[in-house]
């Protein structure tokens, strides 16, 4: 590897921690390089003993490794990071063709595998696939209730229909198309999410049951959090980042307010070392395992949010994002685990599945946050 070609964030001045971020990024890029030829039509998901097993392209996580390759390519200019792009696109095309496990996660899947590639290289096949995926995501829009159904076949009834906070990161695929109908669907979904998934104190429900007959919300439920009424850390991170992104595309002030208020909840619940426990039920006085991926997503959210607030508020957000990323890079990487092919340890999928392990979305968002800290990043979302 020739090293990272840097464009420092304009106006950021001589940032004290730049060298540290660059070293951390270099480590993440080296790990990305390790399995370039292994993750081509099967992709990392959640590690076992800090090793990933390639999983066929049917999970919501298949695009995070291709997204890391795009970041690595962008930072180094080295073509090897995109050398398997045609085979990766074959895999993502087959997934659409065969409608393999189609959920609202089409946004995660095709933003980081296709929109990213299109933005970096102008790849037209990636552009077409991303647009096809957006059309399929739009099929999940429920007109009466103004929401995108998370999981399950369309046409099923209560109580199997849910909206979930994670979907906020699926909306950018719809906004990106520039198709007015899709943009409206995304904005309407964000309004519905604001109404039901964000509580009056700006904590969040993970999911909300919807009644497709009436289009109305029924009740909040958790899927991966500690309890229905608790606040799942990763869900709160999806809220901060997702509403900041919806604000970016719509300039709807309500979304900015929610991003800021949900960020304050997150900040209040950060432990002393700035890496969140997996649910805000847990604290330094009553600790449990962490979710490093929630910290990485939250840092990306703060760095996005910093673009839309006063100079003072922005400086505070950037400072907190740096605290999170510094802590992750100092104490939570796999540096001490020579055999690991993950970047961050102590991630968490479900409490009883993939707790304390590497999770590929944690690796991706950690890398994205580092890239955001060292350059003025043109985002894939």
Which residues are marked as active site? 105, 166
Scanning 149-179, the segments in alpha helix (DSSP H) are 171-177
Q: Which is nearer to ligand GLY, 39 or 60 (CB)?
A: 60
Residue (of 351, 241, 260) closest to 309 by Cα position: 260
Q: Which is nearer to ligand GLY, 166 or 279 (CB)?
A: 166
Q: What is the distance between the alpha carbons of residues 370 and 277, in angstroms, rounded to a whole number?
A: 21
Residues near 180 by beta carbon (within 8 Å), at least 6 away in sequence: none
Contact 300, 365 (CB under 8 A): yes
The distance of closest approach from Cβ of residue 223 to ligand GLY in the complex, given in angstroms and rounded to an integer, is: 8
Q: Which is nearer to ligand GLY, 74 or 105 (CB)?
A: 105
Q: What is the distance between the alpha carbons of residues 43 and 95, in angstroms, rounded to a whole number?
A: 13
Contact 299, 324 (CB under 8 A): yes
Q: Residue 204: exposed, middle, or buried by beta-carbon count in 10 A (0-12, 13-18, 19+)?
A: buried
| Buried/exposed code over 112-130 (b: 16+ C-beta within 10 A; e: otherwise) | bbbbbbbbbeebebbeebb
Distances (CA, A) of 111 to 163, 336, 374: 20, 32, 22
Which tokens in the block code for residue 42? 């099967």
Q: Which is nearer to ligand GLY, 186 or 306 (CB)?
A: 186
Q: Give the E-state strand segments of 268-364 in sequence order.
A: 347-350, 353-357
Q: Which is nearer to ligand GLY, 120 or 233 (CB)?
A: 233
Residue (of 131, 103, 112) closest to 62 by Cα position: 112
Contact 182, 190 (CB under 8 A): no
Q: Which is nearer to ligand GLY, 95 or 234 (CB)?
A: 234
DSSP 8-state assignment for residue 335: G
Position with the least CB separation from ligand GLY: 166
Q: Quickly count: other Cβ atoms within 10 Å of residue 56's Cβ.
A: 13
Binding site for ligand GLY (CB under 6 A): 60, 166, 224, 234, 349
């Amino acid at each position: 590897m020739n090293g990272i070609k840097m464009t420092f964030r304009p106006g950021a001045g001589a940032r004290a921690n730049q060298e540290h971020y660059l070293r951390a990024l270099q480590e993440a890029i080296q790990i990305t390089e390790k399995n370039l030829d292994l993750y081509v039509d099967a992709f990392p998901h959640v590690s076992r003993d800090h090793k990933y097993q390639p999983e066929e392209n049917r999970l919501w996580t298949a695009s995070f490794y291709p997204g890391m390759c795009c970041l690595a390519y962008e930072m180094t200019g080295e073509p090897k990071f995109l050398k398997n792009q045609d085979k990766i696109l074959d895999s993502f095309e087959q997934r659409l063709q065969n409608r393999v496990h189609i959920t609202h996660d089409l946004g995660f899947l095709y933003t980081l595998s296709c929109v990213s590639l299109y933005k970096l290289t102008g790849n037209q096949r990636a552009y077409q696939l991303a647009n096809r995926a957006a059309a399929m995501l739009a099929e999940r829009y429920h007109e009466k209730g103004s929401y995108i159904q998370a999981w399950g076949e369309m046409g099923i009834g209560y109580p199997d229909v849910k909206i979930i906070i994670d979907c906020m990161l699926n909306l950018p695929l719809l906004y990106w198309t520039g198709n007015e109908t899709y943009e409206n669907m995304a904005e309407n979904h964000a309004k519905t999410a604001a109404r039901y998934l964000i509580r009056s104190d700006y904590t969040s429900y993970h999911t909300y049951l919807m009644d497709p007959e009436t289009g109305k919300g029924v009740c909040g439920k958790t899927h991966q959090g500690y309890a229905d009424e608790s606040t799942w850390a990763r869900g709160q991170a999806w809220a901060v980042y997702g509403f900041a992104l919806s604000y970016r595309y719509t300039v709807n002030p309500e979304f900015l307010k929610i991003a800021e208020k949900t960020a304050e909840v997150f900040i209040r619940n950060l432990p002393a070392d700035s890496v969140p426990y997996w649910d805000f039920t847990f604290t330094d006085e009553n600790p449990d395992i962490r979710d490093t991926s929630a910290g990485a997503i939250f840092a990306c959210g703060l760095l996005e949010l910093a673009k839309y607030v006063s100079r003072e508020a922005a400086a505070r957000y950037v400072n907190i994002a740096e605290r999170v990323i510094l802590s992750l890079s100092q104490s939570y990487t796999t540096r001490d685990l020579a055999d690991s092919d993950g970047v961050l340890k102590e991630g968490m999928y479900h409490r009883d599945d993939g707790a304390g392990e590497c999770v590929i979305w944690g690796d991706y968002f950690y890398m994205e946050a580092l890239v955001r800290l060292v350059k003025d990043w043109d985002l894939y979302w």
